[in-house]
A and B are shown apart, each in its own frame.
Chain A
Amino acid sequence: AQSVSQHNHHVILSEAASLELGCNYSYGGTVNLFWYVQYPGQHLQLLLKYFSGDPLVKGIKGFEAEFIKSKFSFNLRKPSVQWSDTAEYFCAVKSNQAGTALIFGKGTTLSVSS
């Protein structure tokens, strides 16, 4: 069965620090990959997605992610975090069954101190 693992449960950073959140997926075929963010008290919002093409994907708010097929990874990065980036981040892969629903990782909580 497809699965997604996120390496970090809770990350604490100071403002202006660089961020990298790890994500690995299990399926070896064609994959569609996503990063969603959930700000406190809000619903999930799409940060970025990868379907095909350039493996370096740029999303909103200065986030980017790199798809590395050989490593089954889709890590999220941001060069300089802000206090407003405090949120929970979910990596997800589109299921190759189940109506193409999303399979989510357990999430990483990012806390940024000012």
Chain B
Amino acid sequence: NAGVTQTPKFRILKIGQSMTLQCTQDMNHNYMYWYRQDPGMGLKLIYYSVGAGITDKGEVPNGYNVSRSTTEDFPLRLELAAPSQTSVYFCASSRQPQETQYFGPGTRLLVL
């Protein structure tokens, strides 16, 4: 049982490039979340999903897209990378809304 896994661990992008951050959980959780963590700012919600095929925006969705074709996977897409997207990205999941969220190890992204 690996929990929540994320790839890659670290990536450098040039402005305007695109990439997909991968997130997979093997706990059969319905709820999945993407957060970004900026220094001194805590974590902010980007997108979330309450089940396969259902996604919705969080607090800071601009510049990102998500999909949820399976229960296990919740990829985050950056279409046109900007320096403001330099951050650490965390994926999380929970079985039910009232249960603990489990976090992945994070992806550190640097946009230059």
Spell out A's residues near B (CB within 8 Å).
4, 9, 32, 34, 36, 42-46, 49, 51, 90, 94-95, 98-107
Contacts and interface: CB of A to CB of B under 8 A. Distances in A.
Contacts of B110: none
Contacts of A101: 33, 35, 45, 48, 58
Contact of A43 (B41, B48, B104): B104
Contact of A51 (B31, B48, B56, B98): B98
Nearest to A91: B42
Given A43-B105, A94-B97, A99 B48 contact: yes
B105 A106 contact: no
B100 A49 contact: yes
Interface residues of B, number: 26
Interface of B: 31, 33, 35, 40-45, 48-50, 56, 58-59, 90, 92, 97-98, 100-106
A42 B105 contact: yes
Contacts of A51: 98
Contacts of A49: 100
Contacts of B102: 46
25 contacts: A42-B105, A43-B103, A43-B105, A44-B43, A45-B103, A46-B102, A49-B100, A90-B43, A94-B98, A98-B48, A98-B58, A98-B59, A99-B33, A99-B49, A99-B97, A100-B97, A100-B98, A101-B45, A102-B33, A102-B101, A104-B35, A106-B40, A106-B41, A106-B42, A107-B42
B40 A107 contact: yes
Contacts of B41: 106
A90 B48 contact: no
Given A44-B92, A90-B43, A106-B42, 14 more contacts: A4-B42, A9-B40, A32-B98, A46-B102, A90-B42, A94-B98, A95-B45, A98-B48, A98-B58, A99-B31, A101-B45, A101-B48, A102-B101, A106-B41
